[in-house]
């Protein structure tokens, strides 16, 4: 199959070997990727079954996709300034730990989704905030993210742009434990200037 496909490409692009050869190599890499690790077929063996991804790999991909969709929904609600909608993705007994300072040495702990929502509302009362997921990975236990954000203080029009990290645990598809790691110096300087 590979050889005949390569011959067809070479024939169709005989006037341009520079195009044909990369196409053949790309197709070869694709096929090798599809059937990597397979041995010669024995009696009664089904190539389609052997070539199928392992169930654990399929579940891993699905879990990663579901984690990405969950965090997209969380930040869509946050960016829409809809705290009640955002909190539907968190457990009522959420534990939120805000780490700050070099190495995350200082921290504040908030218990419960309601207290978390009240805390977030203090920012929305004085600033326009937008955040987006720059990076996300899920290992089946923890979701780890890097979040890009921009905060514009309404009264002074001062802007803070940066990133913070999250480590998240889920329970029944909802966020039960959230650790956030922020740059304390940048945040402290920004909020100090808004009060001057």
Q: Kindly report, residue by residue over 70-84, the tens digit of the pLDDT.
A: 999 999 999 999 999
Place of tokens 């402290």: 188
Single pTM value for the model: 0.66
Q: What is the pLDDT of residues 33-65, one digit of tens each?
A: 443 444 444 555 554 554 445 556 656 666 888
Backbone angles phi, psi at 142, to 5 degrees: -120, 135
Q: Kind and range of the H or E element at 33?
A: helix 17-35
Backbone angles phi, psi at 41, to 5 degrees: -70, 135
Spell out the domain ranges in the chain: 2-52, 56-194
Fold topology of 56-194: Nuclear Transport Factor 2; Chain: A, (3.10.450)
């Amino acid at each position: 199959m590979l050889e005949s496909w390569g011959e067809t490409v070479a024939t169709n692009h005989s006037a341009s070997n520079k195009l044909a050869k990369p196409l053949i190599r790309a197709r070869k890499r694709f096929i090798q990727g599809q059937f990597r690790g397979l041995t010669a077929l024995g009696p009664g063996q089904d190539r389609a079954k052997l070539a199928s991804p392992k169930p654990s790999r399929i579940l891993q991909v699905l879990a990663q996709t579901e984690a990405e969709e969950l965090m997209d929904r969380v930040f869509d609600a946050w960016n829409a300034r809809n705290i009640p909608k955002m909190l539907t993705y968190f457990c009522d007994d959420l534990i939120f730990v805000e780490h700050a300072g070099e190495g995350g040495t200082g921290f504040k702990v908030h218990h419960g989704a309601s207290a978390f929502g009240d805390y977030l509302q203090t920012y929305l009362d004085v600033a326009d905030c937008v955040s987006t997921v720059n990076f996300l990975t899920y290992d089946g236990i923890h979701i780890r993210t890097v979040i890009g954000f921009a905060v514009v203080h309404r009264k002074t029009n001062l802007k803070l742009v940066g990133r913070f990290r999250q480590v998240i645990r889920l329970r029944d598809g909802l966020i039960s434990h959230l650790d956030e790691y922020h740059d304390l110096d940048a945040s402290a300087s920004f909020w100090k200037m808004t009060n001057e």
